[in-house]
Structure 1
Amino acid sequence: MKNANNTNNTKLILLHPYILKQGNSNRLWLLAFVSFFTVAFLLTLIYTRDSSSSSSTASSTTISAAVVPAAAALPATVINTLLHYASRSNDTFKMSYGELKPIADVLRKCSPPCNLLVFGLTHETLLWKALNHNGRTVFIDENRYYAAYYEQQHPEIDAYDVQYTTKTSEMRELIMAARVQVKNECRPVQNLLFSECKLGLNDLPNHVYEVDWDVILVDGPRGDWADAPGRIQPIFTAGVLARSKKGGNAKTHVFVHDFRRGLERVCGDEFLCKENLVEASDLLGHYVVERMDENSFHFCRSQNSTTAS
């Protein structure tokens, strides 16, 4: 009987498999729920950081553009300061304030970007580069070693060397030869890169002939003795470049330094023309040369512009 009672009081507990399955399902749902919110939080954080970074960059760019305009001109006080110190140098071959000022005034009024071509690496080289702020400035010099040295010392300077083939003692013959060839190789409107005119410089970098130069300064090469190359070629070249412009301003300001010497004055009047001379002193001639039609065959309105003597 004892055994029978024990048997009757025994309770059998059965665990149905569905109950176990339901527990695992709840855990999976909990894990999925947590994972979803974790991913959503991370995405929100990343998006917020990117948006903040973009807004910050845009704001800083806007502020920078407002503070430093892309084509801002130099203030007049800066220009006057540069001219003051450049003219007070002890360099024997420096320009005076009276010579620097007309060139600086033209560069200041020239709408940036202004294209400036300078023949000669001189005491004022860094000054011209600074005054032509945001513009294009190219220097041409006869000394290849000095041009290379200058570029090494001042990487911002764009300088090229050229070989001059004339002599100051040949001025009369060269001018007469140019007059004979004025309708052929020595035309006032042409691409000098392909010219055989003896007065034209045709070995400069190709892009020099493609630029519409607004200002050209002839302050080289040397020309104060008979066998010196003189400035016949750069003056002739300046006259052709000014008349052969394809675009930009129709007028080009051409300055010739050391105007008191006979060669600079004679060649200036021959190829830049007396009627284009707007200002002159003992040391500086200022011409304003206009673009010409490609069928033009005279540098000046008067065929007898200058008698080479």
Structure 2
Amino acid sequence: MIRDEHARDRQFPVDGKRFSLFTIAGLIAGVILISGLIKTGDDSLLCSIAKSRSQPINGFSDMETQLRALVHYATSTIIPQQNYDEISVTYDVLRNRSPCNFLVFGLGYDSPMWDALNPRGKTLFLEEDQKWVDDVLKGAPNLHARAVKYRTQLKEASTLLNHYRTQLSCFPSNAYLRGNDQCKLALTGFPNEFYDTEWDLIMIDAPRGWFAEAPGRMAAIFSAAVMARNRKGAGVTHVFLHDVDRKVEKLYATEFLCKKYLVKSAGRLWHFEIPAAVKTTSHDDPHFC
């Protein structure tokens, strides 16, 4: 990213496997082909929300989005945030679940790719910096991105774990997000569509989490777990967490996303499939896993 702190937080190590721009273009080209082969009436590959849509599908608009992404990566010298193996994990799920509701914490150089890989679906990007949102949208105005504010700081990670274990509104049997000011890990004050949409896939690759005053990803991980457990539709919620080599990401993933739901890992990315919770959890049990 243009800003040094974003670049440091969202680039993989220099000695990691570099992701080829040609490979990205190939992935998107493959999706274009797959999208053309999927019949409009075939519900087997649709996410739960797609079945209730009533607006007509604009095939040209989908193709234009994908072609813009191809041009973007074919002419860019910037390496995306994730490497080939990491991107492939999410791509494999999108290939089977798109069109779906895809929530992405973070806005960066890979955003046009994620948008293009979910044709006819809803992809929302959440970013902590309004200026960065404005800068990215200048080059990719078709992206649906919103600036949001976090209430946490990375240096509070341990304290927040202790807080959730004693705050009833954080307990898995009671947890909710919108307006839950008592639970400091609940994401509050976000756009209505964040709360009103049932997300099929959630990618956590932000906010910043490499210095003490950064928001950290504690609240994003907790809130993803709450949304997944509160799911009303059929199927599981796919949660992808990047940078699991870092202490806080790994700690919070183990606490809230649960190792028993970890189905795949690649590089610094973990993929969880989280089912809706059976409403039998004890009200005095603070544990998610």
TM-score normalised by length of structure 1 = 0.65
Per the alignment, residue 53 of structure 1 pairs with none
Provide Cα deviations, 1:103-122, integer angstroms capped at 9, x if missing partner.
0110111053x000000002
SS at match of 1:184: helix
Aligned-pair distance for 1:208? 1.5
Contact 2:240 2:272 in 1 (8 A): yes
Aligned-pair distance for 1:157? 1.2
Per the alignment, residue 127 of structure 1 pairs with 113
- Corresponding letter in the other structure for 2:262: L
Contact 2:179 2:189 in 1 (8 A): no
- Corresponding letter in the other structure for 2:259: K
Per the alignment, residue 237 of structure 2 pairs with 252
Match of 1:150 among 123, 136, 140: 136
Contact 1:191 1:209 in 2 (8 A): no
Aligned-pair distance for 1:152? 4.4
Aligned-pair distance for 1:185? 4.0
Aligned-pair distance for 1:303? 4.3
- Judged with a 3 Å threshold, the aligned counterparts in structure 2 of structure 1 residues 128 and 195 are, in CA distance, closer, same or farther, namely same
Q: Distance in 1 between matches of 2:241 and 2:75?
A: 21
Contact 2:126 2:145 in 1 (8 A): yes
Match of 1:100 among 62, 80, 87: 87
Q: Distance in 1 between matches of 2:39 and 2:140?
A: 24
- Corresponding letter in the other structure for 1:260: D
Q: What's the RMSD between the two structures over aligned residues?
A: 3.4
Higher helix share: 1
SS at match of 1:157: coil
Per the alignment, residue 265 of structure 1 pairs with 250
Aligned-pair distance for 1:156? 1.8
Aligned-pair distance for 1:295? 5.5
Provide Cα deviations, 1:194-233, integer angstroms capped at 9, x if missing partner.
2121011111111211211110000001111222211111
Q: Distance in 2 between matches of 1:202 and 1:303?
A: 21
Alignment of 1:279-290 (within 5 A): 279-290=264-275
Per the alignment, residue 236 of structure 1 pairs with 222
Q: Distance in 2 between matches of 1:290 and 1:142?
A: 28
**If you compute each CA radius of gyration, which structure gives the higher value, 1 or 2?**
1
Aligned-pair distance for 1:87? 11
SS at match of 2:104: strand
Per the alignment, residue 160 of structure 2 pairs with 174
Alignment of 1:21-100 (within 5 A): 69=40, 70=57, 90-91=77-78, 94-100=81-87
- Judged with a 3 Å threshold, the aligned counterparts in structure 2 of structure 1 residues 206 and 262 are, in CA distance, closer, same or farther, namely same
**Would you say how many aligned residue pairs link Structure 1 and Structure 2?**
230
Provide Cα deviations, 1:257-284, integer angstroms capped at 9, x if missing partner.
1111111111111111111111123410
Contact 1:188 1:243 in 2 (8 A): no
5+ residue gaps, structure 1, are 1-64
Give aligned-pair identity as a percent. Answer: 35
